[in-house]
């Protein structure tokens, strides 16, 4: 039977979690910001190697500026997590280390990827100094708008959760 793994996308509101999923699953993008409330769930099969694939069950959680208010019922049974922040809005990453510690704690240290989205809105030099200044590592830099690094992000996640229970 095809393996299925649940991954959750968490982060502040307006950082582009829904847009990343939409780009990955449907290869679409819309500039209209539509707030997510509750949770949306989508499924996508990801080819890891020539003869290896996996179903990612992607839970798109509503964003919050206080991650402590995340509903525990949404996180149950997660195999992996993607923390998304918006590189153009410092409030979404200024407490990154605390946010990540909280996510790790709530999710029992499942594989976690940190993603700076909306890189199309800032220039490269500013972005580099921003990452350095906030000591952000283990990251993906994506643009849901332009599709930059979106597929590789989810493929990486798929590989990470494939052999992980």
Partner 1 sequence: MAMIEKYKTEHLAKNFQFVLVDKQGNVAESDNTLFNIDVDSQIQDWHPFFENFSDLLSSFKDKLHIDCVHLDSGNTQYITDIDFEKKLDGMLIKVHNLTSYYDNFQTMAQSRNESAIASELIIIKNKEFEERERFKNQFIQNFSHELRNPMMSMMSITNLLAKTDLTPSQKQLLEYVQEGNEHLKLLLEDILSISMISTGRLKLENKTFNLHKLFDLLRFTYANKAKANGLKFDAKIDARLPETAEGDRLRLYQVLTNLLDNALKYTDAGSITFTATLNQKWGNKMNVRFEISDTGKGISTENQKMIFESFSQLNHTNEKDGVGLGLAIVNGLVKLMGSEIKLTSEIDKGSMFYFDLNLKTPITQIKKAPLQKTIKSFAQKSKAAMEKQKILLVEDDERIQTILLKTLIDSGNYHVDIINDGGKVLEQVLDTDYDLIIMDVHLPNTTGNQLARLIRDFPIKKIKNVPIIGITADAFEDNIKGYLKDGMNTILSKPFSDSQLTAAINKYIK
Interface contacts to partner 1, rule CB under 8 A: 4, 6, 13-14, 33-35, 37-43, 55, 57, 62-63, 65, 71, 73-74, 76-77, 88-91
Least distance to partner 1, CB of residue 159, Å: 19
Beta bridge partners of 49: 52
Q: Which residue, 88 or 95, has its beta carbon nearer to partner 1?
A: 88
Cα gap 117→14, rounded to integer Å = 10
As given in the structure block, the two tokens for residue 151 are 């597929």
Backbone angles phi, psi at 37, to 5 degrees: -115, 150
Least distance to partner 1, CB of residue 138, Å: 25
Q: Which residue, 41 or 101, has its beta carbon nearer to partner 1?
A: 41
Cα gap 90→24, rounded to integer Å = 25
Least distance to partner 1, CB of residue 77, Å: 5
Least distance to partner 1, CB of residue 103, Å: 19
Q: Which residue, 62 or 99, has its beta carbon nearer to partner 1?
A: 62
Residue 11, helix vs strand vs coil: strand
Q: Which residue, 38 or 163, has its beta carbon nearer to partner 1?
A: 38
Beta bridge partners of 28: none
Strands (E), 62-102: 80-86
């Amino acid at each position: 039977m095809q393996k299925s793994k649940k991954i959750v996308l968490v982060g502040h509101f307006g950082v582009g979690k829904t847009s990343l999923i939409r780009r990955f699953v449907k290869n679409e993008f819309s500039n209209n910001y539509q707030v997510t409330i509750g949770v949306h769930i989508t499924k996508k099969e990801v080819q890891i190697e020539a003869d290896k694939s996996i179903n990612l069950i992607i839970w798109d959680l509503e964003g919050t500026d206080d991650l402590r208010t995340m509903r525990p019922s949404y996180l149950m049974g997660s195999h992996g997590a993607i923390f998304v922040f918006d590189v153009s809005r410092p409030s979404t990453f200024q407490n990154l280390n605390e946010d990540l510690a909280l996510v790790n704690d709530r999710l029992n240290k499942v594989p976690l990827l940190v993603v700076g989205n909306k890189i199309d809105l800032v220039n490269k030099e500013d972005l580099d100094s921003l990452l350095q200044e906030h000591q952000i590592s283990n990251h993906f830099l994506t643009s849901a708008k332009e599709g930059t690094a979106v597929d590789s992000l989810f493929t990486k996640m798929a590989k990470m959760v494939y052999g992980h229970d």
